[in-house]
Amino acid sequence: MHNKTAVVTGGSRGIGRAIVRVLAGAGYRIAFSYVRDEAAAMALREEIEAMGRPCLALRCDIGESDSIAAFFARVEEEYQRIDLLVNNAGITRDGLLAVLPEEDIVSVIQTNLIGTLLCCQQALPGMLCRRSGSIVNLSSVAAQRPGKGQSNYAAAKGGVEALTRALAVELAPRNIRVNAIAPGIVRTEMSEALIGSMAEAIRERLLIKRYAEPEEIAEAVLFVAERALYMTGEVLPVNGGLKMP
């Protein structure tokens, strides 16, 4: 076991919960954010602490800059360092652009892209001082292969991939690596409606004829964060061989 600290945004359910579990199993001290489901967050915190790893579960709205700043201040107060940042928090507000409410466009861009950028900014001072660190951003297959009604989400995730490459260039001289994971369709609460309405059509486009489990994305995060030490500025697809329409 080591005493590195991992911060995971949106860690109380779905992919984020799996990432928290995998990183704790790899020896990280954990801090994760959640927005609404306090019961799920507290249950996960207790689970991680039962594994013998310290765990902070803190409410934070990644769409609000003040909330982000308070979250990272609390993490620094508790652990005095951040070695790994996993920007997982995200939302969807799908709809055809011609009729999509402006608030649905803004909220997705604010949370998924600007929130990711601001979390990176908050984590960087300590990483820069220590001249070490790793950032893993969660993108999506939608950044390269968007579906109908995903213009806001695809734009945000495309921005996350561009941000990943730009930060990799900026931070390489300080020995900080920045990469992204681009999952395909993962069996989570967020994807239930999509899977339910288009299950067979989606499965037909997959070379591996099933949906990803959250743990498979979490293992990819661990690989990029901990083992792929000669990798930076890259986007790793984990999509089951999803084909274009």
Q: Is residue 244 part of a domain?
A: no
- Where residue 133 sits, what CATH number does that domain have? 3.40.50.720
Residue 179's domain spans which residues?
5-234
176-229 pLDDT per residue, tens: 999 999 999 898 776 666 665 556 677 778 888 888 999 999 999 999 999 999
Q: Is residue 240 part of a domain?
A: no
DSSP string for residues in 34-84: ESS-HHHHHHHHHHHHHTT--EEEEE--TT-HHHHHHHHHHHHHHHS--SE
Q: Is residue 241 part of a domain?
A: no
Average pLDDT across the chain, whole number: 93
Average pLDDT of span 8-20? 97
60-75 in b/e form (b: 16+ CB < 10 A) is bbbbeeebbeebbeeb
Query: What was the pLDDT predicted at 65?
Result: 97
Q: Is residue 195 part of a domain?
A: yes
Instruction: Count CA atoms closer than 13 A to 122's CA, side-chain side.
Output: 24
Catalytic position from the list 28, 79, 153, 211:
153
233/167 Cα distance (integer angstroms): 8
Q: Is residue 35 part of a domain?
A: yes
Check if 79 is active-site.
Answer: no
Q: What is the value of pTM for the model shown?
A: 0.94
20-65 pLDDT per residue, tens: 999 999 999 999 999 999 999 999 999 999 999 999 999 999 999 9
As for how many domains the chain has, the answer is 1
Q: Is residue 17 part of a domain?
A: yes
Q: Is residue 100 part of a domain?
A: yes
